[in-house]
Amino acid sequence: MILVTGGLGFIGAHTAVTLLDNNFEVLIVDDLSNTSINVLDGIEKACGKRPHFEQIDLKDKTKVTQLFETYSFEGVIHFAAFKSVGESVEKPLAYYDNNLSSLINLLAVAEDQKRRIPFIFSSSCTVYGEPDHLPITENEPSKTALSPYGNTKQICEEILADLTKVNANIPVIALRYFNPIGAHASAEIGELPLGIPQNLVPFITQSAAGIRGPITIFGNDYPTKDGTCIRDYIHVVDLGDAHVVALKHLNTHSDSPAFDVLNVGTGKGTSVLEIVQAFERVTNVSLRYTIGERREGDVVETYAPFRLRLLPTGSPSNSTPCRTGIPVLPALTSAGAGYRRQSLLQCRSSSPPHAVRSRGSPLSSSMRNGIRPLGIRRAGRRPPRVSNTPSRPSRYPSLQEGRPILRRPAFPRSAVPPPAG
């Protein structure tokens, strides 16, 4: 059985579906602070299987202990955390309390089991702060975080790295992913947080549906092509796949590094304004938006390299597809809304559903009821950008030793659909 903490959240629910599709038995733990119990039904409808569920606040160590006494876990995927950069600036103590306490309790109880329990940690590209170079590789040194949220991810990684030095029973892969968007092709699960969305795309869809007011774009005076921040948007289903690949790797390779970090991104950056304009272009819906002040904690530009990094199991031939053969953790190329997968962005309300889909992928049956496609224009490559922000040495010397193996994706750039419009 695999424990998925925060499994009714956006990324957790999609990862749970992928686990169930791969015939894992899944137990989801969630405190329902930012999601609904109805997501369980959505997971079941999406894959035909229903995970086990326990409503637990991981800050309660007694409840965590009872959980491990009741179930036996062969692996843990830890998503449970507060995750808004902007909100963390306003509520730093809540973020430190929740994100650190939940991890420490989980690890302490797992350590008490005295057996091997692989651990996949949901980290973030925010650990890099304002990067010195673009694209961002795992060799990029961590810096002083620009938000309490980013700092909690840095501290959590430090806790995990320190634990693995003295306890080989809990091998860890920390996935530093960029900006997930999209939803399962069934449209049964998606990004639908409680209250006001903190992420761009669900706010766009809810604004378009009339649920929310105008969108606020935080700053249009950044040193980018249109003045707005640039992010690497990865499809959430691909991100779910990455977690399962990492878990399978730890389950089948006892000689893996005790602690490893991997970026998961698409290899391109898309600006906030480009996302807004793309939505307008393909849905024929005019979005209301205003330009606000820069938001504290936001970095200017982040995106991962366009390449694959192989987990250290050997080197397959260049013809090995990214989803077959030796396990690969790709820098998955679902750029923007993703051209490799349908990108459905749910907006469940009394209004007709609004969704976003990748350009160039076939319409599914779930998209016949008012759901329209969205194509995100691929941006050209940018030269490396150098920052004067002071850095600190990497805490992961193994990443400096050239161990990561890089190769090109199996699908050529010619397969990328042309820019929309």
The 3-state secondary structure of 232-286 reads CEEEHHHHHHHHHHHHHHHHHCCCCCCEEEEEECCCCCEEHHHHHHHHHHHHCCC
Nearest residue to 247 via CA among 6, 8, 19, 13: 19
Using CA atoms, how far apart are residues 226 and 270, in angstroms rounded to an integer?
10
Nearest residue to 330 via CA among 322, 340, 321, 341: 322
Query: Taken in order 321, 325, 331, 336, is the CA torsion positive or negative?
Result: positive
Angstrom CA distances, 308 to 9, 46, 266, stand at 27, 28, 10
Using CA atoms, how far apart are residues 69 and 54, in angstroms rounded to an integer?
13
β pairing state of 270-271 and 230-231: antiparallel
Nearest residue to 373 via CA among 188, 178, 182: 182
Q: Could you confirm whether 149 is annotated as catalytic?
A: yes
Which is catalytic among the residues 95, 149, 222, 303?
149
β pairing state of 215-218 and 289-292: parallel
Kindly list the catalytic residues. 149
